[in-house]
Amino acid sequence: MTYTRVNITEQAKNVLQELKAKHGEVIFHQSGGCCDGSSPMLLPKEDFYIDESDIFMGEIGGVKFYMNEAQFEYWKHTHLTVDVTQGRGSSFSLEIPEGYRFMIKSRLLTKEEEVHFNQ
Amino acid sequence: MNPTKPKFKEKYGNYINGEFVEPIDGEYFENTSPTNNQLIAKYPRSKKEDVDKALEAANAAKDDWGKTSAAHRASILQKIADVIEENLNDFAAIDTYDNGKAIRETVNADVPLAVDHFRYFASAIRAEEGSATELNENTVSLIIKEPLGVVAQIIPWNFPLLMLAWKVAPALASGNCVVLKPAEQTPSSATFLMEKIGHLLPPGVLNVVHGFGPEAGKPLASSNKVNKVAFTGETTTGQLIMQYASKNLNPVTMELGGKSPNIFFNSVMDHDDAFLDKCIEGAVLFAFNQGEVCTCPSRLLVQEDIYDEFMKRVVERTKAITQGDPFDMNTQVGAQASNDQYEKILSYLEIGKEEGAKVLCGGEAFKASGEYEKGFYIQPTILEGHNKMRVFQEEIFGPVLAVCKFKDEAEALEIANDTLYGLGAGVWTRDAHQLYQVPRAIKAGRVWVNCYHDYPAHAPFGGYKKSGFGRENHLMMLNHYRQVKNMLISYDKNKLGFF
B408-459: pLDDT as tens digits: 999 999 999 999 999 999 999 999 999 999 999 999 999 999 999 999 999 9
For residue A35, list chain B residues with Cβ-Cβ distance below 8 A: 156-158, 183, 232-234, 257, 292, 294, 397
Confidence at B191, pLDDT banded by 50, 70, 90: very high
Residue B358 has pLDDT above 80, yes or no: yes
- Count how many Cα atoms sit within 13 Å of the Cα of residue B412 in the half-sphere of its side chain: 25
Strand partners, B339: none
What's the whole-number mean pLDDT along residues B39-43? 97
Out of B158, B213, B388, the one facing A96 most closely (by C-beta) is: B213
Catalytic residue among B105, B255, B292, B409: B255
Residue B86 has pLDDT above 80, yes or no: yes
Predicted pLDDT at A17: 97
Look at B420 and A89 and tell me if their CB atoms are within 8 Å. no
Q: How far is B155 from chain A (nearest CA, A)?
A: 10
For residue A75, list chain B residues with Cβ-Cβ distance below 8 A: 390
Confidence at B365, pLDDT banded by 50, 70, 90: very high
Over its C-alpha atoms, chain B yields an Rg (Å, rounded) of 24
More confident position, B4 or B490 = B490
Over its C-alpha atoms, chain A yields an Rg (Å, rounded) of 14
Confidence at A89, pLDDT banded by 50, 70, 90: confident
Prediction ipTM score: 0.94
Predicted pLDDT at B11: 97
Look at B343 and A32 and tell me if their CB atoms are within 8 Å. no
Residue B258 CA to residue A1 CA, distance in Å, equals: 38
Q: What is the pLDDT of residues B102-155, one digit of tens each?
A: 999 999 999 999 999 999 999 999 999 999 999 999 999 999 999 999 999 999
- Can you tell me whether residue A95 is helix, strand or coil? coil
**B89 in Cβ contact with B151 (< 8 Å):** no
Q: What is the pLDDT of residues B229-272, one digit of tens each?
A: 999 999 999 999 999 999 999 999 999 989 999 999 999 999 99
Amino acid at B71: A
Predicted pLDDT at B396: 94
Taking CA–CA distances from B257, the nearest residue in chain A reads: A34
User: What percentage of residues in chain A have a pLDDT greater than 90?
Assistant: 84
CB pairs under 8 A between A and B: 167
Predicted pLDDT at A35: 82
Q: How far is A36 from chain B (nearest CA, A)?
A: 6
Look at A34 and B294 and tell me if their CB atoms are within 8 Å. yes
Residue A114 CA to residue A76 CA, distance in Å, equals: 9
Residue A25 has pLDDT above 70, yes or no: yes
Q: How far is B374 from chain A (nearest CA, A)?
A: 14
Who's near B318: CB < 8 A, 6+ residues apart?
B284, B287, B361, B362, B380, B382, B401
Predicted pLDDT at B16: 98
What's the whole-number mean pLDDT along residues A15-42? 93
User: What percentage of residues in chain B have a pLDDT greater than 90?
Assistant: 99
Mean pLDDT of chain B: 97
Residue B1 has pLDDT above 70, yes or no: no
Q: What is the pLDDT of residues B298-330, one digit of tens each?
A: 999 999 999 999 999 999 999 999 999 999 999
For residue A108, list chain B residues with Cβ-Cβ distance below 8 A: 354-355
With 0-12 / 13-18 / 19 or more C-beta atoms within 10 angstroms meaning exposed / middle / buried, residue B284 is: buried
Element holding A88 (H helix, E strand):
none
What's the whole-number mean pLDDT along residues B359-382? 96
Q: What is the pLDDT of residues B463-474, one digit of tens each?
A: 999 999 999 999
**B90 in Cβ contact with B110 (< 8 Å):** no
Taking each helix axis from N to C terminus, what angle separates B160-173 and B88-99, rounded to the nearest 10 degrees? 120
User: What percentage of residues in chain B have a pLDDT greater than 70?
Assistant: 100
